[in-house]
Chains A and B, each alone.
Chain A
Amino acid sequence: MDIVEDNGEDMLYASLVVLQNQGTGKALENHNFLQCRFFQLNMKLEHDLLGVHFQSITSSEGFKVYFCSDGDVIFQWIDGQDDSDHKNTIINFISERFRKDIEAIMPFEDFFAEYNIFDNIGALKAECLKKQGKITKNGRELTRCLENDRLVSTFSSTIQLISMQRTMRVKPHILIVEDQAFSQQMLLSVLEPEHTCHVASSAGEGVLLYIEKCPDIVFLDIGLPDISGHSFAKLLKAIDPNVYVVLVTAKNFASDVQTAKENDVKGYIPKPFTKDAIFETLDKFNQNKRKRAS
């Protein structure tokens, strides 16, 4: 068992980048991660406890434990015949020691976040970056991210890796970036019955969801609390050249339309938005997809 004692997020992030550069497909499919949110528990897991309780799996290939600077602990292992035992061993151990403390503040199952590197490497990398303080939901931090070419290129490579998911989807997955719950719910009432939808209330949340879920269409409001929708559209274009952004906004000044064109925004739905306008947008997206496929 390999224990990374401090700032585990740095080592984990570095190892994710290495794994990502090594290959795709099967090679990545085998890596599993289980995050235990000790940060929320405001409690630290003692390193010494692990050796005793994990004797059965300490010799397993690739079993690692990352102690992050915020208190969270992330376990990593490579799939084998006994991989389900690894997960159960960890959960049983946590349950024995901490269940009462956990259930005092959250449902027990919410204490864990599970990642299969092939499915959601983006989410795990974003989690590491958040722990490193390189990305937050704060607008000023996000603006700095926009100026950080290395970070944009990391996000970009994440998207490239998982964008193959898009080809397998029958219906487009949608990301709604809108800070007003009222407008979010109106959009969801039309889109959610037939589409997988994700909702972000800020650009900061939006970028994390984008690299995790790789949506096909982004319905984007211009007036966001952290950065403008225009800047966000520009960032998405830098991360993913195939991004399909539709602005949904009550701003309809000529300068906005011009900026939207410069950022390669594909559509524009003015508020009050109508069902017809939303369906037309989806039809246009599907037509474009068919054209590209043929």
Chain B
Amino acid sequence: MSSDLVVDLTNLREFSQERRDFEKFLFDEFIRSSTELIKVLQPLALKNGGCKEWCDNAHALKGISYNLGAMTLGEMSRTAEGVTSETADYKKDLLDSIMREHQQVLAFLDAEMTSWNVD
């Protein structure tokens, strides 16, 4: 699976067999969960060092990103999960990058779903 793409759907399509209703469910679920997880991370980024809640949420974001095929977002979440004694500035920069990448992933999914309607 290539990490150059924002989202590489090759593996996910092995599971979905290109059934669009199922893919739509997965995309919607990803959008809902990832947005929620990032919302939880935001206030935690203002504090120095890692904590269980930060790690758990970064870990969950990593899992669903990898499974979707959003490898860059997954790698960034993995870095966030590993935060132990880093400063709040570092965490905030990292979360900003995650949010930018997340926006790209959402735009990709949106474009993908729009293209189905065109087909």
Residues of A within 8 A of B (CB): 179-183, 185-186, 189-190, 221, 223, 249-251, 271-275
Contact = CB atoms under 8 A, between A and B. Distances in A.
Nearest to A179: B60
A186 B15 contact: yes
Contacts of A274: 11, 14
Contacts of B69: 272
Most buried by A among B11, B63, B67, B74: B63
Nearest to A180: B64
Nearest to A225: B56
B15 A272 contact: no
Contacts of A275: 14-15
B29 A189 contact: no
A182 B30 contact: yes
Given A186-B67, A272-B1, A251 B59 contact: yes
A25 to B, nearest CB: 42
B108 interface: no
Q: Dominant SS at the B interface?
A: helix
A34 B59 CA distance: 42
B99 interface: no
A85 B81 CA distance: 59
Contacts of B64: 180, 182-183
22 contacts: A179-B60, A180-B60, A180-B64, A181-B33, A182-B67, A182-B68, A185-B22, A185-B26, A186-B12, A186-B67, A189-B15, A189-B22, A223-B63, A250-B62, A250-B63, A250-B74, A250-B78, A271-B67, A272-B1, A272-B66, A273-B67, A274-B14
B11 A271 contact: no
B16 interface: yes
Number of chain B interface residues as a range: 20 to 34
Contacts, number: 57
A180 B33 contact: yes
A277 B95 CA distance: 32
B116 interface: no
Interface of B: 1, 11-12, 14-16, 22, 25-26, 29-30, 33, 56, 59-60, 62-64, 66-69, 74, 78
A182 B65 CA distance: 10
Most buried by A among B12, B16, B22, B66: B66
A189 B12 CA distance: 11
A28 to B, nearest CB: 41
Nearest to A250: B63
A272 B67 contact: yes
B22 to A, nearest CB: 7
Nearest to A178: B63
Contact of B63 (A183, A185, A190): A183
Nearest to B17: A189
